[in-house]
Amino acid sequence: MDIIATLAEELGLRPAAVEAAVKLIDEGNTIPFIARYRKEATGGMDDVALRALDERLAYLRNLEQRKNDVILLIDAQGKLTPELEEEIRSATQLQRVEDLYRPYRKKRLTRAQKAREAGLEPLANMIIMQVTPKGSGAPLDVAAEYVNAEAGFDTPEKALAGAQDIVAETVAEDAENVADLRAFTESTADIVSEAVDAGEKTPYEPYYAFSEPAHKIPNHRVLAVDRGEREGKLRVRVRVDVEAAVARLGSRWPRRQGPFAPILDAAVADGYKRLMAPSLERELRARLTLRAQTDAIKVFAKNLEGLLSARPVRGARIIALDPGYRTGCKVAVLDEYGTLLDHGVVYPTKPRHDVAGTKRELARLVSRHRINTIVIGNGTASRETEEVVSEFIAESAPDLRYTIVNEAGASVYSASELASREYPDLDVTTRGAMSLGRRLQDPLAELVKIPPQSIGVGQYQHDLDQAELARALGNVVEDVVNRVGVNVNTASASLLGYVSGITPTVARNIVAWREEHGAFADRRQLRDVPKLGPKAFEQCAGFLRVPGGANPLDATAVHPESYAVARELLRRAGVGEKDLARGGVPDIRQRVGNPATLAGELGCGLMTLLDIMSELEKPGRDPRDDAPAPVFSRSALSIDDLQPGMELAGTVRNVVDFGAFVDVGVHQDGLVHISKLARRFVKHPSDVVSVGDTVKVWVEKVDRDHGRISLTMVR
């Protein structure tokens, strides 16, 4: 297989660009580095296209390796023919290779193998070909010639049964038969589930008497059925039309009228029912689960990207409240840089219900620390805490604003070894409250400290392949971190660890160097960090920013390898490097002339030149500033305030297969069903909304007894 040509055709890319991308990957370059600084070589592939190429490249290389392994294994048995080798070499899927290898795979002693060892294969071939020796009569008369008492086939009936077992296994292991019946199963089978205990109340009641065609069942129902089965609440099976399957399989073999015809029919039926059906049904369920998990991971990754790309709230001086009942509401006070100024506990909820004392403490903290924003976690007691905060703002601080933040994963971080190292003198609850406040100030910097699986923006995340989920989400974090860029003088080791080319060890070394020598004055000093060699410097330098350093270019996304080009652009524009520190050169394109001509003169690729110009126009621009601003409130709503038809602004908190959950300012998120996201047909909710989006919704229905809110984005 020509892997480059195959990738180019499958992905719709130029072979030269694919070859260059593969070469760059093989040389150890990271995806963010290739996407940002090697655009000319790859034809401008972004990180999404490069990751797709990288994954497919790994699959095709694994496929080629498996082909070679299978060919060697069959050849070692002396059974490799030129035709079989060609079939294996031409396979485009691992499944096809495994199907071709199936008859030659070593396995436990089967009934058919035992019959072969007893010399019954010639008899089996007669059954398959529907021929009998001249002058032979009934099948039992023919089988009598193959009786082998020592091997256990001491009667004609047993010999015939042994030959039939060989036929059944031959039918069931034929690669073409397997492929055809696999397709038949996928297109016609139903997924059926029933209750283990129909009287038990469980979340799986919709699946107590459930049936849906396998080719139509949505991914979220696959995962729900899988979980119900795993928890012992459901029995799940694949229902296939056995008669139709056997007839289809039988039609693939030579049909002749003769004494062996009924025996061939029986062998085909046995081959399907005993040997093919169980494995094909297991395969179907495994493929459905894999499909559902793959899709769920993609949705999770897209949601995570939206959450990490949320706009930072700069200049927010925050009181962060982590609500609770018995132990009270934890308070952390942060300045605009996230530095802890004060902390404590208030008791606005039962059992103490000290509302007056809570309001007095809030007033004291607001006045003393010039607070302009209150952040409330959305967990236990959030609703009651929000009511007290809303009353306090209305009575005493009309200029104050508040917002609700998702506290998923905050407890994971606050109890982690990382949090203990960062804040050894603070208790777990204070760390958790600090984390909530910092999520508003800089979501990316704070959320990278939490395992992505714990952030809570997916569906069935605990049911997914954890290694694959971690890999996919790690890629998302890496892409977002490098797209945004990192201040090398303020970033935590957690954040630095996601920068292109930087390992966790090097990230800790950067922080240690900073603590020993003070702030980095320029990018060149990165070379002094232990274990940060030339290759790592090449990969990371453009993504690490040094604001306020000696070289203004160090605060931009311009890579040091392109500084000469950047300086020449500034010279032609008639400005100095210091202008970058004063806001850049917004009209640089007009000053320097045609970029295409200029690229040739400077010996620089056009795409790279345009990127440099964009940086010089707005140095160090944060792409997150284009994201929607968080929704702030000054008064609290409850579910009792909602009425059908009410128009509200909300923030998308989660996107799943069947819709989007939107925070509209009450404790319970509302669901916008996929059918209510737009007037047009929507294939998947992520085509319309992303986590973090601010959307306008209308209330459709409120189920106060169950705390459910139905919303629509269609007026």
CA atoms of 270 and 172, how far apart (whole Å): 9
- Of 432, 484, 468, which Cα lies nearest the Cα of 305? 484
Phi and psi at residue 489, in whole multiples of 5°?
A: -90, -10
Q: In this structure, are residues 9 and 3 in contact, taking their beta carbons and an 8 Å threshold?
A: no
Q: In this structure, are residues 412 and 451 in contact, taking their beta carbons and an 8 Å threshold?
A: yes
- Of 183, 55, 3, which Cα lies nearest the Cα of 475? 55
Tokens coding 348? 């606005």
pLDDT, residue 256, reads 66
**In which element (H, E) is residue 382 found?**
helix 382-396
Residues of the chain with pLDDT under 70: 134-136, 254-256
Strands, DSSP E only, in 533-625? 544-545
Angle of the 3-11 helix axis to the 15-26 helix axis, nearest 10: 120
Burial of 6 per CB tally in 10 Å (0-12, 13-18, 19+): middle
CA atoms of 105 and 466, how far apart (whole Å): 30
CA atoms of 27 and 585, how far apart (whole Å): 36
> In 271-354, which residue ranges form alpha helices assigned H by DSSP?
277-308
Amino acid letter at 351? Answer: P
- CA 457-462-463 angle, to 5 degrees, is 115
CA atoms of 10 and 531, how far apart (whole Å): 39
pLDDT, residue 635, reads 81
| Cα atoms found within 13 Å of the Cα of residue 93, Cβ hemisphere only | 4
CB atoms within 10 A of CB 82: 7
Question: How far are the Cα atoms of 416, 458, 643, 646, 675 from residue 678, in angstroms, in the given order?
Answer: 42, 22, 21, 18, 7
Q: Give the dihedral of Cα atoms 224, 228, 231, 237; nearest 10 deg.
A: -120
DSSP label of 450: S
Q: What is the pTM of this model?
A: 0.87
Chain centroid to CA 541: 28
The length of the chain is 715
**Exposure string for 379-416, b = 16+ CB within 10 A, e = fewer:** bebbbbbbbbbbbbbeeebeebebbbbbbbbbbbbbeb
Burial of 586 per CB tally in 10 Å (0-12, 13-18, 19+): exposed
**In which element (H, E) is residue 710 found?**
strand 708-712
pLDDT, residue 495, reads 95
Supply the Cα-derived Rg of the chain in whole angstroms: 33
